[in-house]
A = this chain, B = another copy of it.
Amino acid sequence: MQSLYYGSNLKNLLITISYDGRHFHGWQIQQNALTVQEVFQNSLSKIIGSDFDVKGCSRTDSGVHANMYCISLKIAHPIMPERLKAALNRWLPKSVAVLDCVEVPLDFHARYSCVSKEYIYKIWNNEVRNPFLDGYALHYRYKIDENLLNNAAQSYVGYHDFSSFCTLDRREKGDMRRNVMSFSVKRDGDLVTMKVEADGFLYNMVRIMVGTLLRVQQGKINPDDISTIIEKKDRSFAGPTAQACGLYLNRVNYNL
């Protein structure tokens, strides 16, 4: 955004998108791999040129989906938000959709203004795979007891140091404490959905929480031991990182 001048024309837009993560290596631009940010910025530049500043609400991993992902966009271009929404939907690939585009205060930031996020994790729980959920849900063949896991998951809720639930080699250096507001496990037929809301998430945190619950299902971790695993602050005590394909960023909450 080298030439973007902070004059009276500058505006800040909150853009809400949805995307099919199978097509992307996550949000953040990287060399040699297609990302959502890259296709978003490419489409944007066709419409308003190269003079913009884009901030995403979070990194997401390769293969992770978003029912709702938020972007803040600073532009000096006079385009109306509704027209920008329509134009982006014309330029973007079918795997990405702009759901909303509204003006917000200039100090709004998609990442730092966020007060909480909600993720869901989908599991197809049937002996036989579902051809329509390949890449869209984890396939787990053995019967899941959703009540057992829902009860066990309540140990996640609260303000804890989640070091045990963060991938080691990418462990953030700062504060590892996060406030998990809720965690639920529900069944709808053969589809088991886990839903978690927190004020923030460490790297791979949801996927390790899910992997740990599946270890509980397998009887390899006692439901009561989740609190102990949290207390250990050691990744090696938690379960494996569940596949990316079942994970969806579902909601991003702001005080606006």
Contact B19 A96 (CB under 8 A): no
**Residues of the B chain whose Cβ atoms lie less than 8 Å from the Cβ of A97:** 128-131
CA distance A98 to B129 in the complex (A): 9
Give a binary string over A88-122; 1 marks a CB under 8 Å from any B CB, 0 the rest.
01000011111100000000000000000000000
Contact B132 A94 (CB under 8 A): no
* Interface of A, helix, strand, loop or mixed by DSSP: mixed
Contact B98 A131 (CB under 8 A): no
CA distance A136 to B99 in the complex (A): 19
A164 at the interface (CB under 8 A from B): no
For residue A132, give the distance in angstroms from its CB to the closest CB of chain B. 6
- 8 Å CB interface, A67-104 against B: 89, 94-99
Contact A89 B128 (CB under 8 A): yes
Contact partner, A20, options B89, B94, B131, Cβ 8 Å: B131
| Oligomer: number of copies | 2
Give a binary string over A51-66; 1 marks a CB under 8 Å from any B CB, 0 the rest.
0000000000000010
Contact partner, A95, options B18, B98, B128, B131, Cβ 8 Å: B131
For residue A14, give the distance in angstroms from its CB to the closest CB of chain B. 16
CA distance A212 to B19 in the complex (A): 32
CA distance A136 to B20 in the complex (A): 13
Contact B98 A134 (CB under 8 A): no
CA distance A130 to B20 in the complex (A): 9
Contact A134 B99 (CB under 8 A): no
Contact A129 B89 (CB under 8 A): yes
CA distance A95 to B132 in the complex (A): 7
Contact A132 B65 (CB under 8 A): yes
**Residues of the B chain whose Cβ atoms lie less than 8 Å from the Cβ of A65:** 132
Contact B132 A136 (CB under 8 A): yes
Chosen A-B contacts, 22 in total, with CB atoms closer than 8 Å, are A18-B130, A18-B131, A18-B132, A19-B131, A20-B131, A20-B132, A20-B134, A65-B132, A89-B128, A89-B129, A94-B129, A94-B131, A94-B134, A95-B131, A95-B134, A96-B131, A97-B128, A97-B129, A97-B130, A97-B131, A99-B128, A132-B136
CB-based closest 9 A-B pairs: A20-B131, A94-B134, A95-B131, A97-B129, A97-B128, A97-B131, A19-B131, A18-B131, A20-B132
